[in-house]
Structure 1
Amino acid sequence: MNKKKKFIKVAIDSPAAAGAGTLAKSISKYYNLLYLDTGKIYRLIALIKIRKKNKLNFKFLKKKIKKLNLKNLQNKELLSDEVGNEASKISKNKNIRKLVHSFQVNCAYNPPKKFDGSCLDGRDITYKIVPDADFKFFVTANIRVRAKRRFSELKKLKKKISYSTVLKSIIKRDKSDYNRRISPLKKTKDSILINTSNLTKRACFLKIKKIIDRKIKN
Structure 2
Amino acid sequence: MNVLLDNLDLYGPFFLTTIELFALAAVGSLILGTLLAMLRVSPVPVFRGMGATYVTVVRNTPLTLVFAFFVFAYPLLEIVKLNFFTAAVVSLTLYTSAFICEVVRSGINTVPVGQAEAGRALGLKFGQILGSVILPQALRSVVPPLISTLIALLKNTTIAAGFSVAEAGAIRAYLSDRGENQMVGLLWVALGFIILVAVLSLIQRSLEKRWSVAR
TM-score by length of structure 2 reads: 0.28
| Higher relative helix content | 2
| Higher relative strand content | 1
Q: Per chain length, whose mean CA-contact separation is higher, i.e. which structure has more relative contact order (CA < 8 Å, sep 6+)?
A: 1
TM-score by length of structure 1 reads: 0.28
Higher Cα Rg, which structure? 2
